[in-house]
Amino acid sequence: MTNTQEIGKLRHLKKLGDILYGCIACGDCRIAVRYTVGRYKVCPVLEHTPGFEPFFARGKMQIVRGLIEGRLKLSQELANVIYQCTTCGDCHATCHQSMDPNINLSIGKYLDHTKIYEALRADLVDAGYGPMTRHREILEWCKKEHNPYMELHKDRIVWMPEGVDLPSRGELVFFMGCTEPYRQPEIIRKTIKLLLSAGVRPALIHPEEYCCGSVALRTGMRSLAEELALHNIKALQDAGAKEVVVHCAGCYRTLKKDYPDIYGKELPFKVVHITEILNRLLAEGKLEFREDFKNRKVTYHDPCHLGRHCDFYEPPREIIKKVPGLEFIEMKRNRTAAWCCGAGGGVKSAFPNLAEKIARVRVEDAKEVGVDYIVTVCPFCENNLRLVAEKEGIPVLDIVDLFKI
């Protein structure tokens, strides 16, 4: 229950307690280069800005401290900088991280930058400075039609292949998300066809499936996010879900990591990523790969929401490495040190030019290793990388594009 007295008084930041003082201000989050462990710089935003401290993690932490200690006030100018962050979590991935499983530096264990940025954004929303105008438009629509794409809720399943009829209840539920149904219908269509071809018939809970709430959470609209999350949890529970399959990396992070926090206890179902299911079906010999990749090279882009946020790195790689004739090459920045595509944290909608500049850097990473394709598993990353990559002659594929359907 929101205490209205507390609104505007940094209630979200204050809930985080002493971790707000966890940053010692060493500044490794500025530009750390530690090539022996694949670390080449940190903040994807910094190099496209004037570069003052507030544009990377240490400055933001000092600002948070200044706010908490009463020396600084929230403002629109501050909000404009705080929202120029993809919340990719690369600062967290370099902050007192030893890059060796045998060594656990203390601060790296508890300092969660993304959580602090999201709390600061929520306080900016409380104070009327956030989110950005475009976010507000999107989220107003989301309240009404349950998606951030200015589309009608009833159209969420217009992608459904003709003749396919999926149940609305079941132990295995496919959570569609918003981006694929409204913006990449061919991907969700292929995904469902693939599952059906392997004898898996998931349920869809439409019209009860709403936006997962990721956009609202990342931009500080916490109350809307909570409404959406609680609605979806109830709908999934009512549908008898025991396992919820998610394709979109943003939805996966939200269901897997944020929903239990919002729900306040363990979810009544398990959240799994589509690549886990596809690996399972591959092992059972129920899926086949396309055969037109012979002598081609591919790399994999780790979506931040899946990789750094959920420590989920290997299942997509396991699939790619099994494709006959396709040579897999890692980009120099991968896994915990992967460069963000630039689209996350509301940057794509509020600062599209910045998002494209960051994508250009990531595509350069791919060009450097001389690949023919970039594969990823996040529709958001796919859209943003595609803007740049396809001009460079590098198609961006979704993982399901590797399969014969």
Q: Which residues contact 271 (CB under 8 A, 6 or more apart)?
A: 244, 246, 252, 255, 256, 259
Residue type, 344: G
**Window of 7-15, 23-31, 123-131, 266-274 that interacts with other proteins by CB under 8 A:** 23-31
CA distance 305 to 307: 6
- Least distance to other proteins, CB of residue 335, Å: 15
Cβ(173)–Cβ(167) below 8 Å: no
Site size with other proteins, rule: CB under 8 A: 54
Q: Which residues contact 140 (CB under 8 A, 6 or more apart)?
A: none
Cβ(178)–Cβ(142) below 8 Å: no
Toward other proteins, which CB reaches closer, 62 or 197?
62
Toward other proteins, which CB reaches closer, 7 or 72?
72
CA distance 331 to 310: 20
Q: Does 15 bind other proteins (CB under 8 A)?
A: no
- Single residue of 10, 12, 30, 373 touching other proteins by CB under 8 A: 30
Toward other proteins, which CB reaches closer, 105 or 164?
105
Cβ(121)–Cβ(81) below 8 Å: no
Q: Does 76 bind other proteins (CB under 8 A)?
A: no
| b/e code 195-228 from CB counts within 10 Å (16+ = b) | beebebebbbbbeebbbbbbbbbbbbbbebbbbb
CA distance 364 to 356: 12
DSSP bridge partners of 299: 374
- Least distance to other proteins, CB of residue 114, Å: 17
The encoded tokens of residue 216 equal 């609202």
The encoded tokens of residue 398 equal 């979704």
Toward other proteins, which CB reaches closer, 59 or 315?
59
- Single residue of 43, 78, 306, 374 touching other proteins by CB under 8 A: 78
How large is the angle between the packed helices 113-126 and 57-68, nearest 10 degrees? Answer: 50
Toward other proteins, which CB reaches closer, 49 or 197?
49
Q: Does 66 bind other proteins (CB under 8 A)?
A: yes
Toward other proteins, which CB reaches closer, 3 or 35?
35
**Window of 45-53, 149-157, 298-306, 353-361 that interacts with other proteins by CB under 8 A:** 45-53
- Interaction pattern, residues 86-125, with other proteins; x per rule: CB under 8 A: --------x-x-xxxxxxxxxx--xx--------------
Interacting residues toward other proteins by CB under 8 A: 17-19, 21-22, 24-37, 39-40, 50-54, 58-60, 62-63, 66, 69, 71-73, 75, 77-78, 81, 94, 96, 98-107, 110-111
